[in-house]
Amino acid sequence: MERLRRLQGGLIARGWDALLVSRPEDVRYLSGARGGMVRLVVTPDDVLLLAHYVDLEESHLQAPYLPIRRTLTVSSIPEIAEHLKKRGVRTLAVDVEGMTHGHYQRLAQQVREDGVELAPDDGIMRKMRWLKDEQKLARIRRATEINDLAYERIFPRLVPGVTERQIALEIQRAMWEAGAESIRFLAAQFGEHSALPHYYPTDRPLRRGDFVLLDWVPVFEGYWSDVTRTVVAGEAGEQQRAVYEVVKRAQAAGLAAAVPGATGHQADAAARRVIEDAGYGDRFGHSLGHGINEGPNLDQGSADVLEPGMVVTIEPGIYISGWGGVRIEDTVVITAEGARPLSRTSKELMVLC
């Protein structure tokens, strides 16, 4: 309820009569209801949860403290319009990017008949969710623990002959058994495949001397953790050690720059400079990092300002086509003292089997 009260205070400050919350992740953040066909209509003094039949019973269980109305359509537009009319709403703020153009047009047409004007919100939900309270941080920490447990289980299984697909299955099993609610992303990339920033597992077998790039994202109670490690199967070559060391130093620079008051651009630039100075600038083509569950972004054009309570990734990489690649990634909490990584998995270059 505290989140809803903060949101209602934001409505009052902005002079909005009501806010339509339509993204499922925002509805879950505010109410606990997890369905994909749920909406919230929030006014300064009340909240109504609208749920389609397929999500109705679950919504009653997950948000028992809220009034819930069943909707006859997936869009909930007739019920939204009726509720706004009863409440005397004249200005309804909406997340324009959170709905389809057709949905927006149908909603606008119907509510305008009752004198209601739609206004784009100013990212109020996005900004609320950027700052993680202790409850959310606890879920992210637990997701990171699941990530670490999966690494502990997988490293001994990286032996010559095992395939990317076999390792991917082991990773999934490890995360499910450790308590993951779902898995957002999974990559197990051997040898030349590690030069591809994102790649899906194949039947390519592991060979001695291969880089192994491992990246997976377990979800726990709606929040996730993103950790990447790169290891070597067998003895590491001189170039492998050199490239790994550059990426490790770049990540350290990014972590050091990710302090309150810094922009996403400044953090990205600090890590990118290390890679450029080593002669690999054209081999680092993605951003330094992204927010967990929601922003801010850490990229070359980001003006997002870091604040204590934000959770982001720091993940520089170097990718050399046909040879291999290295990425080192941590999920980190921005604190008053700087960026604090959550993962316990070592970032030293590990040589396995």
Confidence of residue 206 (pLDDT cuts 50, 70, 90): very high
The CATH superfamily assigned to 2-128 is: Creatinase/prolidase N-terminal domain (3.40.350.10)
Residue 40 has pLDDT above 90, yes or no: yes
pLDDT per residue as tens digits for the range 136-172: 999 999 999 999 999 999 999 999 999 999 999 999 9
The pLDDT value recorded for residue 75 is: 84
List the single range of 74-78, 173-177, 228-232, 262-266 with lowest mean pLDDT. Answer: 74-78
**How confident is residue 95, by pLDDT bands cut at 50, 70 and 90?**
confident
Which H or E element spans position 227?
A: strand 227-233
Nearest to 212 by CA among 175, 250, 166, 164: 164
- Per DSSP, the residues of 40-79 read EEEETTEEEEEEEHHHHHHHHHH-TTS-EEEESSSS-HHH
Where in the chain are the domains?
2-128, 134-352
Q: Round to whole Å and give the CA distance between 228 and 238.
A: 22
- pLDDT at residue 347 tops 90: yes
CATH class entry, domain 134-352: alpha beta
| Token pair in block for residue 44 | 């300064």
57-73 pLDDT, tens digit per residue, is: 999 999 999 999 999 88
Please state the pTM of the whole predicted model. 0.83
Q: What pLDDT score does 128 carry?
A: 87
